A and B are shown apart, each in its own frame.
Chain A
Amino acid sequence: MAYVPLADQEQELHHPHSWVTKYVWSQDHKVIAIQYAVTAIAVGVVALVLSLMMRMQLGFPETFNLIDPSEYYQAVTMHGMIMVVYLLTALFMGGFGNYLIPLMCGSRDMVFPFMNMLSYWVYLLSVLILMASFFVGEGPTGGGWTLYPPQTALAGTPGHDSGIVLMLISLAVFIVAFTMGGLNYVVTTLQSRCRGLTMMRLPLSVWGIFVATCLALFAFPALLVAAIMMLFDTLLGTSFFMPAIIESGTPLDHNGGSPVLFQHLFWFFGHPEVYIVALPAFGLVSDVLSVHARKNIFGYRMMVWAIIAIGALSFIVWAHHMYVSGMHPYFGFFFATTTLIIAVPTALKVYNWVLTLYEGDIRLNAPMYFAIGFIFTFIHGGLTGLFLGNVVIDLPLSDTYFVVAHFHMVMGVSPVLVVFAAIYHWYPKITGRMFHAGMAKLHFWCTFLGTYAIYLPMHYLGFLGVPRRYYALGATDFIPQSAQDLNTAISIAALFVGASQLLFFINMLWSLRNGKKADPNPWGAASLEWQTAETPPIHGNWGAELPTVYRWAYDYSVPGAHKDFIPQNTPESVETTVDEQHFDPDLDKSKADL
């Protein structure tokens, strides 16, 4: 019997017969990707609203009184956890991973489509469990997104009854969902590539998502273990993490547990989590930069090595989040050193992005705005990370707004800019329509300048010693009135950035119906997902035959070539005579003005 590649096994494909099986219980990776993305963005909007409520409280403490101190802590907790896990992780992996991996690998679908579908519905269940905590008992947990015991479980913390339980159950369910999806992404990348597509011919988007998935598969267990043990402590009265403690004069039943053990487990997950979010962003932004600069990505091989090196190193830096928890100086020294070492491959990537732009034929399309904006915010957030990675600098800055500014720049704003770059970049392929370019660029400037207006002053507040997590600063000697005024300005900027996201939503929805019909390959990209016969790609992605790959994904502006990109599925013999159906220099020029 002739060998049928896994990427082409028709019997693995589920063929939908009704609207419900096509769009609801769908096993098509593209539909699942959109389901993931819409759910993640919807829950992200909840987190955005929570942050705006916090900013209104901080900027105008005596004016609005929208939330009381307990609700403030609940908003802090839910905002953090939703943004990191339920928005960014789910969107990069479940959204972009699902959409792009099979297409970029030249496959018809994920290897296990049913499990892929199950992954989404279990993810949705985890989101619903988390959202349910708003409506039960005292509401969601207010223990901070790190959920540190013992305070998370004590009566003084909002949501100590059912909120924390629902949070932990939701996280455990999320991990189950992710594991099902993650196994799919890994196995599809390894086993289901089309003919000729070697690992080193994969676009960096796939490399980023692939390595991040491996990281997540090995890091989420730490969170699962911590969550299970914390559930035991909360529900069954065990003392894994809960120490002997007296609450309102009454000794609790717990005795001898180790809160620091929880911190180690949490951050053993928590730091790789930073790269679980960052690596897909690195990959996606590399592809966007390369396509719109009409240049191959600079140092492709080193970019792959850097992704792998960052992934491996991310497992041995976790305790830099715990310098103030009390640790042996040598322990701190070790983690400070590893933290500085991880900056090397990260910086290498930044240099390569900048060198990709150098002397490129740059097309300032909307996705490129966001991609270049990302380089700025990432350098900014990365450099402040070097400050905080050093023990002696971290100690005074710990728990100040400097930390808030740092992590929002590096893993809030930066990945979100990539999310926007990627959505705008692939929107024509996903929907078959072009978005409104002017509105997208306006969205960029509002977001980019607005977020700088929020986070740049926060560094200064941090240097002043303004503590994070406080409901109101009140009158203190070390916080001058100017800091209060700065807080007000930050809040106004935050409200502005929040409102400007409407530009994005309006653009996306309006363009679905009214956008100009998109070319199959409007940016002139070389990777496989742009070479499908149909736009948007049909169920099964490819026509009768799978593509065959003859080259890497970055053949742009090749000297002597007929046009300024050569698709991966173009044989060498015809690269100079490819027809112009996907690329027209004049058309391309007009697109440059998009």
Chain B
Amino acid sequence: MSLLKTLGDKSWERKGIIGGLKPVGAFDTAPEKVALVFFLVVASVVFSLFTVSYFIRMELPDWTPLADPAKLWLNTGLLAISSVLFQWARNISSSTSTRNIKTAFIGGGVFAILFIAGQLSAWQDLNNAGHYIASNPATSFFYLFTAVHAVHLLGGLWVWSKSSIKLLSGSEPKEVRLSIQLCTLYWHFLLIVWLVLFAVLSNT
């Protein structure tokens, strides 16, 4: 309702200072987090449009469903563990004791790397089975979805690596607290995206 209230303001009538130093209507959080949330919406649009394209293309007669590699279940587990470890790091970063924060945060990234390695291995399996990228649209979409998802994960790993280096080189956890929070949010988002993509790929 506050949005409607904002847009209903008769600003030509009201004079004088409105609000404090924080701008009226600004989100009460770090600007990096606001930017990340906007980016997540943008990324959601990207994945949604890929998925819509998938369903439209699926209706055409040359579509042959692909039996997805069983390895994907293992990979999903790896990404879930990664996400859990990031959440653990985030919880530690907001508490008074910061013990295990390095283990949790760096472990989260390592499991994400293992997930990407697992995805590459799934590609290899498909390739060995003769399912090349241009064999069939279902296969093409499999490679496309997994590649685009992995690219997003690699972007996250770049931020993660910078923060990890800071942590390992002796920076105080509070200096990377925001980065840990943002990475956690991003990882949860990519886990949800992967679960949706995986559900779409395995049920069609």
Contact = CB atoms under 8 A, between A and B. Distances in A.
Interface in B20-37: 20-27, 31-32, 34-35
A337 to B, nearest CB: 22
B200 interface: no
Interface stretch (B40-48, B111-119, B157-165): B40-48
B134 A239 contact: yes
11 contacts: A186-B38, A198-B25, A201-B11, A217-B38, A217-B42, A222-B49, A238-B137, A239-B137, A240-B137, A261-B53, A571-B16
B60 to A, nearest CB: 5
B181 to A, nearest CB: 16
Given A191-B31, A221-B46, A232-B133, A552 B19 contact: no
A136 interface: no
B7 A550 contact: no
Contacts of B9: 198-200, 301
B42 A187 contact: no
Contacts of B26: 6, 190-191, 193
Nearest to B24: A198
B73 interface: no
Given A183-B38, A218-B42, A256-B137, 5 more contacts: A193-B26, A198-B23, A218-B41, A258-B56, A548-B17
A236 B42 contact: no
Nearest to B137: A239
Given A112-B35, A240-B57, A256 B15 contact: no
A296 B12 contact: yes
Nearest to A105: B23
Interface residues of A, number: 61
Contacts of A201: 11, 18
A367 B195 CA distance: 54
A265 B41 contact: no
Contact of B34 (A191, A222, A253): A191
A222 B45 CA distance: 8
B195 to A, nearest CB: 20
A584 B137 CA distance: 71
A512 to B, nearest CB: 35
A268 B45 CA distance: 11
Interface in A271-309: 296, 300-301, 304-305, 308
A420 interface: no
A195 B21 contact: yes
B23 A192 contact: yes
A225 B16 CA distance: 48
Interface residues of B, number: 45
Contacts of A256: 60-63, 137
Contacts, number: 156
Contacts of A200: 6-7, 9, 11
A501 interface: no
A218 B20 contact: no
Contacts of A192: 23, 31
A197 interface: yes
B10 A301 contact: yes
A322 interface: no
Interface in A91-125: 111-112
Q: Top 8 nearest A-B pairs by Cβ distance?
A: A256-B62, A193-B23, A237-B134, A200-B11, A238-B140, A200-B9, A221-B45, A552-B11
A5 B23 contact: yes
Interface in B57-76: 57, 60-63
Interface in B140-186: 140, 144, 148
A390 B133 CA distance: 42
Interface string A1-17: 00111110000000000
A552 B15 CA distance: 8
Contact of A199 (B22, B24, B140, B144): B24
Nearest to B144: A232
A571 B18 CA distance: 12
A247 interface: no
Nearest to A297: B12
Contacts of A196: 16-19
Nearest to B50: A225
A229 interface: yes
Contact of A229 (B10, B42, B63, B144): B144
Nearest to A237: B134
Nearest to A239: B137
A527 interface: no
Contacts of B140: 232, 236, 238-240
A225 B34 contact: no
A297 to B, nearest CB: 10
Contacts of A268: 49
A264 B56 CA distance: 11
Interface in B78-112: none
B23 A194 contact: yes
B199 to A, nearest CB: 19
Contacts of A239: 62, 134, 137, 140
Contacts of B12: 296, 300, 552, 554
Nearest to A244: B62
B21 A3 contact: yes
- Which of B12, B20, B22 has most A Cβ within 10 Å? B12
A225 B38 CA distance: 18
A190 B27 contact: yes
B105 to A, nearest CB: 23
Contacts of B45: 218, 221-222
B186 to A, nearest CB: 14
Nearest to B42: A217
A551 interface: yes
B180 to A, nearest CB: 19
A183 B133 CA distance: 34
A236 B16 contact: no
Nearest to A197: B23
Given A198-B19, A239-B140, A190 B133 contact: no
A181 to B, nearest CB: 12
Contacts of A352: none
Contact of B57 (A190, A217, A221, A258): A258
A503 interface: no
A572 B25 contact: no
Contacts of B21: 3-5, 195
A200 B11 CA distance: 6
Contact of A191 (B6, B27, B49, B148): B27
A193 B12 CA distance: 18
A304 B9 CA distance: 11
A275 B13 CA distance: 30
B39 A183 contact: yes
